[in-house]
Structure 1
Amino acid sequence: MKKTFSFLFIFIAFQTFSQGPKVLIVTAHPDDETMFPVTIFKITHELKGTADLALITDGSGGYNGLVASSYYGMNLTDSTTGRIHLPLLRKKELFCSGEVMGIKNFHFFDQIDDYYQFDPKPFLAGERWDLAFCERKLDKILQNGQYDYVFCLIPSAEQHAHHKTASILALRAVQRMKGDKKPVVLGGRSLNKNYTYTFSQLENYPETKISTTAPVFYFDRSFGFGENKHHSYMIVADWVKACHKTQSGDMDASMHKGELETFWYFDINGNTKIEQTKTFFENLRNSGFPTK
């Protein structure tokens, strides 16, 4: 009996020790995850971690499918058609994208994807979205998931209001968590290697302040390896983008572009987890086909 208990303890301890990082992605639209799909792919496939995705809108406002109209046999640039068919079509496309990335669980909030705008106030005030519902659901997901990291989009001023709101919802949800075991929240976007983009904070939203101590973390998905260096992780990003056929305009413009998946470390995380996050990205670069 004593030997059996010891073996069981060692087995459980090994499982706990060997478990990879757990990540929750919080985004506004299906296809927002194309900002950092390779990071997710490497977490789930090569670091043996897990990733879940919380999608805030129903995706019904994405009338960007000129070529997709032929593919699906309906006019996906028409608002009436889009409102009826896009929510289901885009969920199916997100499942395709999630299969590539290795997403384990999807959480759909189905808030209205109304129109392109910049001001997040109507959403955060509960005028356009059911804010109380979103907050309760996010709180429960975070409590049950016990995540190490939360990924959202950088809520910069030029971004869609939905993007900003989803990221602020994620930041506020982590702030509401009790205890010390809160996930690290990172704001991501894909950029070219010669980027000049900077971000410090979205005005009037102090929770979006970026740490001045932490570096900008990144993964270079263009790094070549294999025979004659003909291989790179850019292909994974293209696989994910290709799933989003209803967004044929945006995806065509972004295909095989954006060499870096960059991540900003929010100030609400504090300084104690900066080294942990550095190690995480080192492990990411060293896993699978090393990109160093």
Structure 2
Amino acid sequence: MRTTFGLLFLLLTSNTLFAQGPKVLIVTAHPDDETMFPATVFKITRELKGTVDLALITDASGGYNGLVASTYYDKNLTDSATGRVALPLLRKKELICAGEVMGIRNFFFFDQLDDFYQIDPKPFFEGKRWDMAFCEKKLNKILEEGQYDYVFCLVPSAEQHAHHKTASILAIRAVKNLKSEKKPIVLGGRALNKNYTYSFDVLDGFPETKISKKAPVFYFDRSYGFGENNKHSYMIVADWVKACHKSQSGDMNSSMHRGDLETFWYFDINVESGIEATSKLFEKIRQSGFVTK
């Protein structure tokens, strides 16, 4: 009898282990940065039964484009003085709302100053903007304890906000320096239209951002139609997530129902053997739930 029970327990626990999906950590600078790849995250958590956590680097006190949101929240969110006080709490609540849609498990808040729009990430790594020693230590601990399979960040393009680039470089360096035999694969995400001409190779001055020439650009087509009259698509998930970010009513209004593809770029710091594993992951994503191409 004991042998039968033990065998049954082993079978049940083995099935649970094999059924477990990938573990992912998202590292972004601002609430709403995750709108670059929400449908991919949704499919990982809801359909592949994986787990996703999110590390937010800034305190979310910037972003004064909430003209309509000012009426919604009864606060002048286009005014920086008001925003500095009100936005950190509002935007974190909005991120948690978006996280409920995507199935985010844990949030890690680093609370570095969301100071002003700028392009150059170098001052951040020189310690002139953020407490980088604190950020590095905290992110290292999260990675060590989380045992993630993947880390998602934004593609650190030259034209991007310095906060975006700094957060992504921070994530890449943290994985690169991780003292572990098994390191997560770092992917840079970006939402693009199907006919995109965008390309990325490396951010000047930061060789760790170099993209592998052996890997394809992985993608999920969130606009692909299915169901009755093809009127359904995973684009609705992206819209649900964007709708949570009410304080950013200007940016979200212009981005609603846009960006057909959630694209992911494979950094050269990753092991070459991870390319095949990542290809299989995105094939599973496309074949899970409501099948897409």
Normalising by the residue count of structure 1, what TM-score does the alignment of the two structures yield?
Answer: 0.98
1:179 Cα offset (Å): 2.6
1:142 Cα offset (Å): 0.6
The equivalent of 1:126 in structure 2 is 127
The equivalent of 2:36 in structure 1 is 35
The equivalent of 1:145 in structure 2 is 146
Give the letter aligned to residue 29 of structure 1: H
Within 5 A, what are the aligned runs for 1:169-184? 169-184=170-185
Gaps of 5+ in 1: none
Q: Deviations over 1:66-108 (max 9, x none)?
A: 1100000010000100000000000010011000000000000
Within 5 A, what are the aligned runs for 1:1-292? 1-292=2-293
Distance 1:291 1:5 in 2: 40
Distance 1:175 1:228 in 2: 47
Give the letter aligned to residue 100 of structure 1: V
Distance 1:234 1:8 in 2: 41
SS at match of 1:109: strand
SS at match of 1:88: helix
Give the letter aligned to residue 69 of structure 1: S
- Aligned pair count reads 292
Distance 2:85 2:149 in 1: 37
Distance 2:15 2:47 in 1: 18
1:144 Cα offset (Å): 1.0
Give the letter aligned to residue 131 of structure 2: D
Percentage of identical aligned residues: 73
Distance 2:219 2:23 in 1: 18
Q: Report the RMSD for the aligned CA atoms in angstroms.
A: 0.8
Give the letter aligned to residue 253 of structure 1: S
Distance 1:179 1:138 in 2: 14
Distance 2:226 2:167 in 1: 36
Gaps of 5+ in 2: none
SS at match of 1:113: coil
Distance 2:180 2:89 in 1: 38
Give the letter aligned to residue 85 of structure 1: A
Give the letter aligned to residue 107 of structure 2: F
Give the letter aligned to residue 246 of structure 2: K
Distance 1:3 1:130 in 2: 56
Q: Deviations over 1:19-41 (max 9, x none)?
A: 00111000000000000000000
Which runs of at least 4 in structure 1 moved beyond 6 Å after TM superposition?
none
Distance 2:125 2:12 in 1: 46
Give the letter aligned to residue 72 of structure 1: Y
Give the letter aligned to residue 152 of structure 1: C
Give the letter aligned to residue 249 of structure 1: G
Give the letter aligned to residue 91 of structure 2: R
Give the letter aligned to residue 155 of structure 2: I
1:16 Cα offset (Å): 1.3
Distance 1:14 1:146 in 2: 20
Distance 2:3 2:133 in 1: 51
Distance 1:186 1:226 in 2: 31
Distance 1:273 1:34 in 2: 25
Give the letter aligned to residue 217 of structure 1: F
Give the letter aligned to residue 161 of structure 1: A
SS at match of 1:40: helix
Give the letter aligned to residue 265 of structure 2: W
Distance 1:50 1:86 in 2: 28
1:8 Cα offset (Å): 2.6
1:180 Cα offset (Å): 2.3
SS at match of 2:269: helix
Distance 2:166 2:264 in 1: 18
